[in-house]
Structure 1
Amino acid sequence: MHSYIKVANTAIVAAIDFGTTYSGWAYSLRSNFDSDRTKASTKLWNSGSAQTEKTPTCILIRPDGKTVEAFGYEAEDRYQDLAGTEEHMDFFYFRRFKMSLSKKLGEKLDRNMTLEDAMNRCLPALDVFAMSIKFLKDDLLAVLPDRHLGNIKMDDIHWVLTVPAIWTDGSKQFMREAAIMAGIKSKRLTIALEPEAASMFCRNLPIEATNCDSGSNISSLSIGTQYMILDAGGGTIDITVHEVDTDNNVKEIHAASGGGWGGTTVDEAFKRLLIAIITNDVYEAFKRDHTDDWLDIWRDFEVKKRTITTSSNSPVRMRLPSSLTDKYYLVTKQKLAIAVKGSEYASDIQIVRDKINFSAELARSWFETSVVKTVHLVKSIMSKNENVTAILMVGGFSESPVLQNAVRAEFKQMDIIIPSEASNCILKGALIFGHLPKVITERVLKYTYGIGSFETFVAGHHPPKRLITTDNGFVCPNVFSKHAEIYQRVKIGEPQVWHTYSPQYKSQTQMSFSVFASEKPNPVYTDEGCILIGTLQIDLVDHDGALDREVLVAFTFSGTEIVVEAKDRKTGNQSFVAVDFLG
């Protein structure tokens, strides 16, 4: 099934790193991979002032809601041009929409959900994700002839799409369905977990390609050594622990944990400050009526926030558009500079002509939520994994001096290892994962998984209120049939315990199963402490309506997606069944 596709003979592995803030693509030839696993071909995107290996995750869609006008830097520029001539209102402009898929266990994710764009207009989320993935896919394919690879066909390529490890199974399925809509065949697609991809890349990096005071490197760690991967992205902080295994492989020894407090929380803190200063009404009116200047502020902030450190006392200076001060005066009948002087921010904010200055202390406070939550989570995980000797910091937000300093200051006894290209190692590591999908030999389950089943009713054991009658007689429904337990270590590709299930009615030609997850190790009933996470259907071979048409079912959890294997006991017929996590 999809997580275990053999890709050894694939001519090219192509990876799409679909990030909250930035996205990009890369590919590697099988012929080059064997000699250098870190070698990757990427695209340099033109920002206007520099070239980068990633481009902003923003998409501009034409008024028909179906045609991509531009993506990335070009989408930003084109939307700003449209806003300058007030033609933008009919277009759809989406940015940083990946976090709409970041759900907790039990939170509903629907394939029919919609997304709001910058002007609060909606399109189906699946369409927006699919159009974005298709743009990146087509952009990669378009350069192959220029790189003397014009004879490569789609079936010669295995695609890898990255997602946060903390995402639910439904979120992963959503991305798979979006990729299929984008024209990638399911059998040619692997979903890779971002911290794992980063770990794989860094396992193959030379020491000189990392930033570590002790000179250590993940690639030099001996078998049995444990290290933490702190993947700090734009949207999520995603943390797991790996142990070096034989043959350059690794085991996951602590299930991924984290949350949505990545780099964009800095932007959210800045936005809250702006609204506190100018009021929400002024902010919304400014965004609506002067969209080009609103975009300029956020572009300026994206650059300025990267310069904020823990040591500098220099203020953060940004351009203040006259359209904003004019809008503030129009709504409040007061000059913004005078209002700020009389506010609680008087000592931290100064407005001088067309500039607004924020004190260094105030600027550092924008990082507080993310830094405090991240350090707290790292401490918690360390307390349960006392043999961890190093922290590998990856992801774009790991390049922040504020976050780096906080981690170094709190965990002085640890080797803090930061790759020189921390923001790109997920993308390039996804290529390694595509070539070697079994490089992660073990994973740790985040939940207990099982199926809702029926048991013969036993008086005194089952509550009377649960008694129902089927063709099998008196039975108790909604019994939790456990297939794997929380924190259990599972080996890649190995089905877990097999359980046997039988139809309850003679007329059945199909068996429907409800799949549940729980944070309890041993749930008894599916309606007590369990969350319905998906469903699956298994066709029955008709044996004249017999009730002994037994089906054996096993789950394989050690891939990045759950695989279900079913066997008909009488015929021996075997099949793989997809769990529908989106309902």
Structure 2
Amino acid sequence: MALSKGPLEPLCRAVNIPKVTPVLQGSSCIAAIDFGTSSLSVAYTTPTDGQVKLVPLHSTYERVPNAILIFKDKENQQCGEVTGIGYKAQSIYSTKKETQNYIYFERIKTLLERDTEIDRTTQVSSFTGGSYYLIEVIAFILTHLKEKLLTDHLKRNYKSSDFDWVITVPAIWKARARRMMREAAYMAGLTSDAPGITRFTPVGSPLPRPEEVNPEKLSLALEPEVAAIAAQHQSEVSGTPPERYMVVDIGGGTVDITVHDKSNGRISVVLLPMGNTWGGTTVNEALSMILEEVVKDKGFQSFLASDPTRAKATLNKFFYGEFEEQKKTFGDKPKGTNEMVLTLPLAFESFYGTKLRELKKMDMHYDPGDGSLEINYCQLEEKVFKSTVDKIIECVRKAFHDLKSDGIDTVYLVGGFGGCRFISQRIKEAIAEHHGMLYDNIVCPVQPGLAVVTGAVMWRKDPNIIQSRVADATYGTSASIAFNPSIHDEHYKRVNEEGVQRCGNVFEVFVLKGEEIKNEIYKASFIPSYQRWTQQHIPIYCTTDDGVQYIVDKEGKLTVHKIGELILDLPNPDNIPRKERKYEIFMDFSGTEIQARAQYSITGEEVKTVCDFLSKQD
């Protein structure tokens, strides 16, 4: 019998049953955090006036770099007090002559986007030396953002537990990265009135799963979904509102594309979320690679080694500070201007010296007198922007192709890099080429970089505005079912302790890739494998392949990917026979996170259930 790769039907499927009530109810006291690759922002609303407001995180700036500076306690080096985030953190760190008492991080979200094997013990290195658990660094940032809202802005008129909190995540993120943000939020005390994290766990020491306090007070919102809600609210679209629209969310680290239908004020997601890690950051990296080639120093390793605590911050300030601001306006060149002018950092100039004169071979002009670097727009387009823009357009074209003949009324461009005029022009040209005609319905809202955080608050006011989504993969678990020789492979036949023939390693499917998920949950029934068991670990698997029927092939290799497990407590003090201890698990894939609960079949009594998507998987 052929295994798993053909267009085969599942051997076993969970039962699909209607969900009685929506998981999330509307709220009027909401705080949202956009934890971006390049930047951070916070928005909120209270019952006082119901308006969505932005929190100034630095002077009048509502969007600041994703950077944090922590002062280490002299007596206990694992304890820390946040000195500042964003521009304040960057400014203080750049002026410190001695940094041994500080811990400094920038742009840590890139680890979540590019490391598919993250878990609770994933580490990140500080600019000032030393390694720390990534989840705790995120928790420190969230704790400080919470205090900026509650203490600095709202003057302690509200408690953390008064708010329903929202953290935004890319739609293309999988369960593990999403779970890390949730657990970091628990550590930060968002859903409780606890002060939040104040000390780091020494790397190598156990890092327990944080206690889930008021989990219903925290939601994860998908960035392109909520950005679309904000864009529609802000933008004036000529004619009738779009019935089908595409959202292209181009942030610093990721490109997220979704397509929605809107009818009677409700939204249905009609296309699998798609995207890649070719966000705006890859443009910065392209410029970096050019300069690395000029000075013949891959990754600027020699420069970094010359001043381990400051050199990296110097490079980041140039590539993700000065160049970042000019990058966003590329395509809006003033009349008579044909080049971008940047000022190289003094330390960078001093270190590489005459090597920088090689820039003229790249058709770039370097002036050692004032440290200026001139790059003409043609060079920028071809050598710096092109590869990233091509990857973004590749995703947009695929979305249009997958929709086949169905049209798109409007394309919304959002995100920090979505407002770049050059990007919108190239996307317009690509869509026109696909259609064979001019396409003008591309809308970029005012302040596209803040569309995600403001849209997150709007979404949480009415979370059920999204009435259906599309499964991004096939999800299921392993099952042992009665062996049927007409449909089951002999290789998987087993005999249990009662002498009954079973078929093992069956992939019991909850939901298939591409299926529409509405207001429904999936029920599967189980019996403890052995009488003595009082705890059951149920693995959760996923695959993007079609026709997978068994979780392993005949060589014992997994045909699916384990993303986590459910841990169920099944005490049996009265020694009830195994067959009478049947229980049911209920899986919910309709929201932005996988949810699960369990109960005994006979009594209906709830079984304590933990969804663990962040421990190391086998």
TM-score, with length taken from structure 2: 0.82
Which amino acid in 2 is paired with 1:158? D
Q: Percent identity?
A: 26
Single out whichever of 285-294 and 116-125 deviates more from structure 2: 285-294
Residue among 406, 413, 416 paired with 1:393: 413
Q: Check whether the contact 1:57–1:72 (CA below 8 A) recurs between aligned residues.
A: yes
Distance across 2 between alignment mates of 1:55 and 1:89: 25
1:515 matched to 2:552? The reply is no
Deviations 1:529-564 (A, max 9, x none): 311111002233646233242222232111111112
Unmatched segments (≥5 aa) in structure 1: 34-38, 208-214, 330-334
Distance across 1 between alignment mates of 2:422 and 2:408: 23
Q: Check whether the contact 2:163–2:217 (CA below 8 A) recurs between aligned residues.
A: yes
1:563 matched to 2:595? The reply is yes
- Match of residue 305 from structure 1: 327
Distance across 1 between alignment mates of 2:42 and 2:332: 33
Q: Check whether the contact 2:57–2:64 (CA below 8 A) recurs between aligned residues.
A: yes
Distance across 2 between alignment mates of 1:381 and 1:505: 48
- Match of residue 209 from structure 2: none
Deviations 1:89-117 (A, max 9, x none): 5532211111211258xx32211110123
Shift of 1:311: 6.0
Single out whichever of 441-450 and 294-303 deviates more from structure 2: 294-303
Residue among 226, 251, 268 paired with 1:233: 251
1:226-265 superposed matches below 5 A: 226-246=244-264, 248-265=265-282
Which amino acid in 1 is paired with 2:577? G
Shift of 1:315: 1.9
**Aligned partner of residue 398 in structure 1, secondary structure:** coil
Shift of 1:258: 0.6
Distance across 1 between alignment mates of 2:576 and 2:110: 50
- Match of residue 439 from structure 1: 465
* Residues 1:367 and 1:143: Cα distance change in structure 2 (over 3 Å): same
1:41 matched to 2:53? The reply is yes
Residue among 394, 402, 405 paired with 1:384: 402
Which amino acid in 2 is paired with 1:452? S
1:111-126 superposed matches below 5 A: 111-118=120-127, 121-126=130-135
**Aligned partner of residue 60 in structure 1, secondary structure:** strand
Distance across 2 between alignment mates of 1:458 and 1:437: 44
**Aligned partner of residue 444 in structure 2, secondary structure:** strand
Which amino acid in 1 is paired with 2:401? S
Distance across 1 between alignment mates of 2:114 and 2:539: 20
**Aligned partner of residue 270 in structure 2, secondary structure:** strand
Q: Check whether the contact 1:160–1:189 (CA below 8 A) recurs between aligned residues.
A: yes
Distance across 1 between alignment mates of 2:261 and 2:358: 56
* Residues 1:515 and 1:290: Cα distance change in structure 2 (over 3 Å): closer
**Aligned partner of residue 611 in structure 2, secondary structure:** coil
Deviations 1:404-455 (A, max 9, x none): 1111222232510111121111101111122212110000000111111112
Shift of 1:363: 1.9
1:278-357 superposed matches below 5 A: 278-280=295-297, 281-285=301-305, 288=308, 291=311, 293-294=314-315, 296-298=317-319, 299-309=321-331, 314-329=338-353, 335-341=354-360, 343=361, 345=362, 347-353=363-369, 354-357=371-374
Count of residues in correspondence between the two structures? 543
Shift of 1:168: 0.5
Shift of 1:366: 1.4
Which amino acid in 2 is paired with 1:288? P
**Aligned partner of residue 134 in structure 1, secondary structure:** helix
Distance across 2 between alignment mates of 1:368 and 1:22: 23
Q: Check whether the contact 2:34–2:40 (CA below 8 A) recurs between aligned residues.
A: yes
Shift of 1:522: 3.2
Single out whichever of 444-453 and 310-319 deviates more from structure 2: 310-319
Distance across 1 between alignment mates of 2:607 and 2:393: 45
Distance across 1 between alignment mates of 2:314 and 2:220: 38
- Match of residue 196 from structure 2: none
- Match of residue 332 from structure 1: none
Distance across 2 between alignment mates of 1:338 and 1:42: 45
- Match of residue 13 from structure 2: none
Q: Check whether the contact 2:357–2:366 (CA below 8 A) recurs between aligned residues.
A: no
**Aligned partner of residue 532 in structure 2, secondary structure:** coil
Q: Check whether the contact 1:563–1:578 (CA below 8 A) recurs between aligned residues.
A: no
**Aligned partner of residue 434 in structure 1, secondary structure:** helix
Residue among 212, 228, 234 paired with 1:199: 228
Which amino acid in 2 is paired with 1:348? M
Shift of 1:119: 5.3
Shift of 1:285: 4.0
**Aligned partner of residue 396 in structure 1, secondary structure:** coil
Which amino acid in 2 is paired with 1:315? E
Relative contact order, CA 8 A, sep 6+: which one is greater?
Answer: 2
Q: Check whether the contact 1:503–1:550 (CA below 8 A) recurs between aligned residues.
A: yes
1:12-161 superposed matches below 5 A: 12-33=29-50, 39-46=51-58, 51-63=60-72, 64-67=77-80, 68-82=82-96, 85=97, 87-102=98-113, 107-118=116-127, 121-146=130-155, 150-161=156-167
Shift of 1:503: 2.2
Q: Check whether the contact 2:250–2:256 (CA below 8 A) recurs between aligned residues.
A: yes
* Residues 1:282 and 1:374: Cα distance change in structure 2 (over 3 Å): same
* Residues 1:125 and 1:296: Cα distance change in structure 2 (over 3 Å): closer
Shift of 1:326: 3.0
